Amino acid sequence: MTDKQITELTIRRPDDWHLHLRDGAMLQAVLPETARHFGRAIIMPNLVPPVVTGDQATAYRNRIMAALPRDMTFTPLMTLYLTENTDPDDVAAAHAAGIATAVKLYPAGATTNSASGVTDFEKVRPVLDRMAKIGMPLCVHGEVTNHEIDIFDREAVFIDKILRPLRKKVPDLRIIMEHVTTQDAVDYVRDTPKNLGATITTHHLIINRNHILAGGIKPHFYCLPVAKREAHRVALVQAAISGDKRFFLGTDSAPHTDPLKLQACGCAGIFTAPNTMSCLAEVFEAASALPKLEAFASLNGPRFYGLEPNEATITLTKGDPVAYPSYVPTADGPVTVFDPGFDLHWSVTSN
């Protein structure tokens, strides 16, 4: 049977290994969109103020669980925001207690709410050394922030100038390169035999930089890292459908209200939580790789994090185009849902 003949696909319930839930009214509105399809998610800590300590992670996790609808099951996997003042003992204690699954590294100024991030990597070596010792993963926003570096080159430069030296100094540290966007990153992960994985977002599998800029600026396609050339998008698709255990789904679904997106200096982020599984099924079907979707969305991530895949399953069914809402309402304003630019014929019909 060819992929075009497949009209129903049952896979283990997927996980999202890179998710922004925000807080307050936004959290209340967007959490159900993820919990509807996903069993677990790595929760980003870049709130204001950021989630730096184990106690703060516990409090945030409690707010997430309080916002979860009673008829849904979902496990938030918390991360700690790495700063140059992070206490290695607190990190280790939070990990041992099951509070923090990973630590998140933002180079200072790299993206939304990253001002508290790292500028001097030697200052965080004690934390990284402790993490390597206890087997705690580091999630990395892999871009340099030097204004002299072209925004389309910042991922490749980060690999050469920051990541390669860091991995030589702390070779036992398990690292996830989040939201990779380039052939350079795909090749680097493929050439690395151990302790390195990478997440790929839904939107970077679909859009390139033309979608943002050609025919007028499209603010709802603006994200960081910014989408690159078509050749890079194709490289990401090939990595996602390859079955390679080092590549797995991290949506980087990042909700902002439309007033914050549609302004002179609009926020970076694309909200893909509601329709990610439909989008992925279309991408994998177009690449004649539907049987590989489960590995990418449901198996490779847990394996890298040392967790078991979800026991539950979801079923995707192909039919008439699915009508997703154009936005999700929140008390702070509407959040536009990612529009892939083509009809979505796959829907989650059971889970």
Residue 252 designated active-site: yes
The rounded distance, in Å, linking the Cα atoms of 218 and 210 is 10
The answer to whether the CB of 118 falls within 8 A of the CB of 106 is yes
* Residue 49: cis peptide before it, omega within 30 degrees of 0: yes
Identity of the residue numbered 178: E
If you write DSSP's letter for every residue of 48-113 in order, what string do you get?
SS---SHHHHHHHHHHHHHHS-TT---EEEEEEE--TT--HHHHHHHHHTTSEEEEEE-BTTSSTT
The rounded distance, in Å, linking the Cα atoms of 284 and 200 is 13
The rounded distance, in Å, linking the Cα atoms of 104 and 42 is 10
Identity of the residue numbered 30: V
The answer to whether the CB of 277 falls within 8 A of the CB of 14 is yes
Buried b (16+ CB within 10 A) or exposed e, 62-82: ebbeebbeeeeebbbbbbbbb
- Catalytic residue among 90, 184, 244, 252, which? 252
Which amino acids are annotated catalytic?
Answer: 252
